[in-house]
Amino acid sequence: MAAEARAIAVVGGGLAGLAAAWRLGGRGARVTLFEKRHALGGRAGSYHDPIENCMVDRGQHVVLGACERLLQLFGEWGVADAIAWRDQLQIAAPGDPASIGTIQAWNRLPDKLQFLPALAKFKLLTFGERARLLFIFRAMERLRESELAALDEMTFADWLKLQNTPPRCVSRFLEPVVAAACNETPDVASARAAIFVFREAFLNGAGRARLGVPRGPLSEFYNDRVLRQFRERNIQIETGSAVESVRVENGRAVGVAVGGSFIPFDAVVAALPFDGMHGIFDPRIASTIPEIVNLTKLESSPILSGHFFYDPDVCVAGGEIGLVERTAHWIFDRYASSGKPEDRGRLVTVVSAARALAKQPRERVEALLRADVEAAVPAARGRTPRRILLAIEWNATFSARPGTERLRPGARTALRGLFLASDACATGWPATMEGAVRAGEAAAAAANG
């Protein structure tokens, strides 16, 4: 007689929770996913703006060609075509944004030479500066795994000083990539985290540095067709259902409390943001779970997005542009990726690691970001946007600063029956959608093992 399928609760409907539920359902488990919001996606989700009558993402998310587990998952869901790919990345120079440096992200050279075209056309640096970057890439490539792990104890900026890196190599090439991938600046990000990103994107295979931008709001990745596939895998999704607590009996997680009622489960996968994981446990119990305690020690890093609604003819040539030595790190043209008429004239500025900026008065922030838009987008000069919407995610990601890796837990915990799935888990990746999916899949493998 076949054993009865395990009943597993997944707490949280972000990408980590969705990945965990999808893999568990594929292995035959009976899964119930609880999400307190009425929509899925978590921080990689969207909300409706009633004034513009459009969906607004909780931060502008992008994908790299190196995000193989995320892309595999999107392929299985049938939404891989919802990503618009860029083979070149544009970076604008300070003072003269009309001068564009191009990072070639796709070529057919052997793996170990992938970074050569990325540097060849990058005209924002002198030949000598680009030659120095070539040396730095080689230094990254030669690091053994043990050496890379040890670099979690120093900042990327300190490591770059040891390589005698010219300042403009940092501000004009390395920092835009680190800010986007790690949500930290080189003087804060750990050397291990930053170098990991460059190795994955530029030193590990063709096309891995390509930039993918969602064609529409992130909510479209969790459409009815995708949810139907979840139901076919015996995965029950309960939105608008907040898990109040995880019940623990005799040193084991035995179920969850929802709406004042207890629901028993054989295992619980906690797939919440790192800063909210402890909230579903009695404080006395949480203090006995080392993995939960370590998550509370992680610091956060905010992301600030400015949504500018211009007339339809205002656009970014090429779709996106990175800015160096400015307030904003990137400007995205929503129409360039979506092709939807309602997105014409809608530009999104992104500031990573925006601690200082987010504390400034709203008028000051709007003025700084608008100055960046007008400097980089000729069509916006002298034009007044009909609306500016600022969105701040204060705890957008954990801060990938030195010493962080030793705090990041694995999927298994000291509490039997409890498994963790968060982009803060020990996947090797910084806080990205790829890291979330990898954590969810690791939790599924552990919970169903």
Residue 405's pLDDT is what? 98
For the domain that residue 32 is a member of, what is the CATH number? 3.50.50.60
Between CA 319 and CA 304 the distance in angstroms is: 20
61, 218 contact by CB (below 8 A): yes
274, 396 contact by CB (below 8 A): no
∠317-79-340 over CA atoms, to 5°? 40
Instruction: Provide the domain count of the chain.
Output: 3
215-228 burial string, b = 16+ CB within 10 Å, else e? Answer: bbbbbbbbeeebee
Task: Work out the angle between the directed axes of helices 433-447 and 68-77 (0-180°, nearest 10).
Answer: 80
- pLDDT tens track for 162-191: 999 999 999 999 998 999 999 999 999 999
208, 65 contact by CB (below 8 A): yes
- pLDDT over 80 at 95, yes or no: no
177 plus 311 within the same structural domain:
no
Residue 72 lies in a domain: no
- pLDDT tens track for 191-207: 999 999 999 988 888 78
Residue 57's pLDDT is what? 83
Backbone angles phi, psi at 255, to 5 degrees: 160, -170
Backbone angles phi, psi at 168, to 5 degrees: -70, -25
279 plus 240 within the same structural domain:
yes
430, 433, 435, 438: CA torsion to nearest 10: -170
- What are the tokens at 357? 């900026």
- Rounded to two decimals, the pTM is 0.94
Between CA 119 and CA 14 the distance in angstroms is: 36
Name the band, by pLDDT with cuts 50, 70 and 90, for residue 422: very high
Residue 112's pLDDT is what? 54
CB atoms within 10 A of CB 176: 21
419 plus 386 within the same structural domain:
no
Residue 88 lies in a domain: no
Between CA 195 and CA 402 the distance in angstroms is: 13
User: What is the residue range of 408's domain?
Assistant: 7-57+218-297+401-447
State the chain's mean pLDDT as an integer. Answer: 92
* Segment 263-275 mean pLDDT: 97
Residue with tokens 């930053």: 194
Residue 84 lies in a domain: no
What are the beta bridge partners of residue 357?
none
Between CA 33 and CA 271 the distance in angstroms is: 10
Residue 294's pLDDT is what? 98
- For residue 87, the Cα-to-chain-centroid distance in whole angstroms is 20
Give percent of the chain with pLDDT exceeding 90: 76
Between CA 380 and CA 36 the distance in angstroms is: 40
- pLDDT tens track for 368-384: 999 999 999 999 999 99
Quote helix, strand, coil % in the chain, to nearest 5: 40, 25, 35
Pick the more confident residue, 34 or 50.
34
Residue 78 lies in a domain: no
- pLDDT over 60 at 114, yes or no: no
139, 163 contact by CB (below 8 A): yes
Residue 118's pLDDT is what? 64
- pLDDT over 50 at 84, yes or no: yes
Residue 52 lies in a domain: yes
Residue 209 lies in a domain: no
Residue with tokens 């990945």: 19
- pLDDT tens track for 282-321: 999 999 999 999 999 999 999 999 999 999 999 998 899 9
312 plus 429 within the same structural domain:
no
Residue 110's pLDDT is what? 52
* Segment 62-70 mean pLDDT: 94
129 plus 190 within the same structural domain:
yes
* Segment 86-105 mean pLDDT: 73
423 plus 386 within the same structural domain:
no
262 plus 315 within the same structural domain:
no
- pLDDT tens track for 137-169: 999 999 999 999 999 999 999 999 999 999 999
Residue 80 lies in a domain: no
- pLDDT over 50 at 1, yes or no: no
Residue 287's pLDDT is what? 97
95 Rama class: left (phi>0) / alpha (psi -120 to 50) / beta: left
230 plus 304 within the same structural domain:
no
For the domain that residue 342 is a member of, what is the CATH number? 3.90.660.10
Name the band, by pLDDT with cuts 50, 70 and 90, for residue 366: very high
165 plus 196 within the same structural domain:
yes
- pLDDT tens track for 204-240: 887 888 899 999 888 888 888 889 999 999 999 999 9
Residue 93 lies in a domain: no
Name the band, by pLDDT with cuts 50, 70 and 90, for residue 45: confident
137 plus 23 within the same structural domain:
no
394 plus 314 within the same structural domain:
yes
DSSP 367-388: HHHHHHHHHH-GGGTT---SEE
Of 259, 253, 325, 299, whose CA–CA distance to 394 is shortest?
299
Of 87, 73, 96, whose CA–CA distance to 25 is shortest?
73
277 plus 355 within the same structural domain:
no
